[in-house]
Structure 1
């Protein structure tokens, strides 16, 4: 008994609570047995047949048959609404693909690119024209300078910041080294010790480096000058440099020795020993100080010489021309980059629109396949409902026929046909595969045409840029 209850309970649990078959189809199919039980067709057929209802001469459906037809009609209406909703969804998805706008979007991307190229070219040429003239003027001055001074070689001078900062850095390092070394020597006879020694060393080192650097920057570049007065001035500067460097470093050496003799009045002692002889009274440390000072001065002289061209004044017009030329080339390259960037961005947008069209064409095909599949499923479902209605009516009629004592009405022997009515309305389904193919071909033709216009715009910009090379001829030398 207990086992029977469990079996009954499990039977109820396993029994579906609805009148539909579990299915993966779009349109769910009602279950024949469930609907027959729900509509009490077997019971009504027996009861009404026992009463010989409907009468043999009746031509219309009785109440039980009408319930079946109404239920099938509700199922048909539900399927029709479901079909209409799905078709409207697919129609909207097709409409959102916007195939018709692709050619115009490709054209718009190209027009924007052409406009940007034209704008960048106009701005760039306006900016390059004065730069080109300034470069040509600097070149004319450089050519005139070379002719006047008999130079037929390019100027040799530090052209990069790295080269210039190397020379300045070398000068600074020499200055610091000389100051530190001389500071140690000066500290030995200075009452302030190392601090006082470094302070005195800084003054002498700065003066020593300045003399050497100035002689290298001016004197060495003037001695090879084309004109005699400048050469005389150059040799004069070199002579003054030699005298000044030797005198300064001897003074430093004697001053250092004087500190060890008379810290109170070292200047008088240094002057007296210098009059006695250049190296009179100097110890080994002072002579070393003198030698180091001369070496550092020569390094500063070479550094000053390397700061510019070997020929006095040649690096200024040459440097001016190089700067003007570099400014022109930099702006010219900026214009080329701007034009190329606009060209590539426009091309990328055009290709993106075309690729999007290809992707949407594939999506359109999928949608049309889904529409065809849903339509076939809907037609098949209507056929199923018609058969289902016939089977339900057959259950009722068969039970009625067996229970009655009079002949059945004539329509009991005819197969029921479900009224289909007008097809569901859901609006126009656009973009057939043929139409999309036509749009794709038109978009590809538009892409090719606009790519040609874009290339012409870029070539026109490059032609205007090349025309700047004729600026000297057009405007005169």
Structure 2
């Protein structure tokens, strides 16, 4: 792309270059300073003296010395201005000759032909690209019309893009980090590695808690809005399965917090036994708080995942 219209660019640069070493300017001829001539020649004083002497006489037709001096002074200024004009005309004539319009016109014609060729080549490439894009657009419109007709849809697709899409993805990451940090502070009590170990265990629980909610919302639960009965049943079953899974995961996390504080080994097996025997048998209010926080974050992730794409699957 950088070589296109190269001749036209070179012509423009050559026209912008000056063929002389002077700065372009427009200087007017200076106006004749009559007051200065009056002061230099003392015309007022000499006129008063000659007037008192009644010179020159009224009937004289020839110019006197003072008038001749004034005329000579003005003529000198006129000659100096004329010489300046002649010099300027010669200088400008040389500059005009140096412009070489014929050569510039030839360069313009060459640049014009090259630019037209480059433009036609660009148009041909653009038409090829537009043809492919138009064909893809027509196929997408046909597929879109077929999909809406098949599923009985009237509304337009609700596709998240731009800032809204970035916000939803950022919200998922924010939920994961916040839940990990909060759960880590609760699990650090019974972990041998302290807060760092609690953070690692909390990250694993958060990944499963939020990841399962997101996957079920995106790929399964949205089927509840499907037109087919089978799809609706799958969607309803997915929602029920999500609720059971979210409650189980967060109850297991709460039981693990209580058990890990008293047992160094075998905490996982003890959690499974407690879940089977008495799932709601949490004895510490912090464990219930941990359960509620995890369930709340899981629900947020499920709702956010539901609307990441269009609510209608397909």
TM-score (norm. length: structure 1) = 0.44
Work out the CA distance in 2 between the residues paired with 1:264 and 1:91.
Answer: 104
- Pick the aligned partner of 1:123 from 116, 122, 125: 125
Query: Are the equivalent residues in 2 in contact too, given 1:254–1:282 (CA < 8 A)?
Result: no
CA offsets per residue over residues 416-474 of structure 1, 9 Å max, x none?
A: xxxxxxxxxxxxxxxxxxxxxxxxxxxxxxxxxxxxxxxxxxxxxxxxxxxxxxxxxxx
Q: Match for residue 148 of structure 2? A: 146
The aligned residue for residue 325 of structure 1 is none
1:143 Cα deviation from its structure 2 partner: 1.1
Greater CA deviation, 301-310 or 255-264?
Answer: 255-264
Unaligned runs of 5+ in 2: 1-88
CA spacing shift, 1:259–1:90, aligned 2, 3 Å: closer
Aligned to 2:135: 133
Report the Cα offset of residue 274 of structure 1. 2.4
> SS of the residue aligned with 1:295?
helix
1:357-436 alignment to 2 at 5 Å? none
Contact 1:273-1:281 within 8 A present in 2 as well: no
| Separation in structure 1 between the aligned mates of residue 133 and residue 101 of structure 2, nearest angstrom | 49
1:200 CA displacement: 1.1
The equivalent residue for 2:237 is: 236
Change (3 A) 1:92 1:281: closer
In the aligned structure 2, how far is the partner of 1:183 from the partner of 1:94? Answer: 85
- Aligned-residue offset at 1:101: 4.9
- TM-score w.r.t. structure 2 length? 0.66
Query: Structure 1, unaligned stretches of length 5 or more?
Result: 1-86, 314-477
Which residue is equivalent to 2:199? 198
Aligned residues: 227
CA contact (8 A) 1:219 1:233 kept: yes
Answer yes or no: is the 8 Å Cα contact 2:214–2:302 preserved in 1.
yes
> For residues 88 and 205 of structure 1, do their structure 2 counterparts lie closer, same or farther at Cα, with a shift above 3 Å needed?
closer
Alpha carbons of structure 1 residues 89 and 194: separation in structure 2 relative to 1, 3 Å: closer
Match of 1:282 in 2: 283
2:173 matched to 1:168? Answer: no
Report the counterpart of residue 261 of structure 1 in structure 2.
262
Q: Partner of 2:161 in structure 1?
A: 159
Confirm or deny: 8 A CA contact 2:254 2:282 kept in the other structure. Answer: no
- Which structure exhibits the higher relative contact order, with contacts defined as CA atoms closer than 8 Å and separated by 6 or more residues? 1
Q: Does 1:207 align with 2:245?
A: no
CA apart distance, 1:89? 8.4
Deviations 1:178-210 (A, max 9, x none): 111111111112222212211111111100001
Q: Which has the greater radius of gyration? A: 1
1:99–1:240: structure 2 CA closer, same or farther, 3 Å change rule? same
Q: Check 1:172–1:99 CA distance in 2 against 1; reply closer, same or farther (3 A cut).
A: closer
Deviation at 1:219, TM superposition (A): 3.2
Distance 1:89 1:170 in 2: 75
Distance 1:191 1:103 in 2: 88
1:275 deviates by 3.0
Q: Partner residue of 2:39?
A: none
Aligned 8 A contact 1:249 1:293 in 2: yes
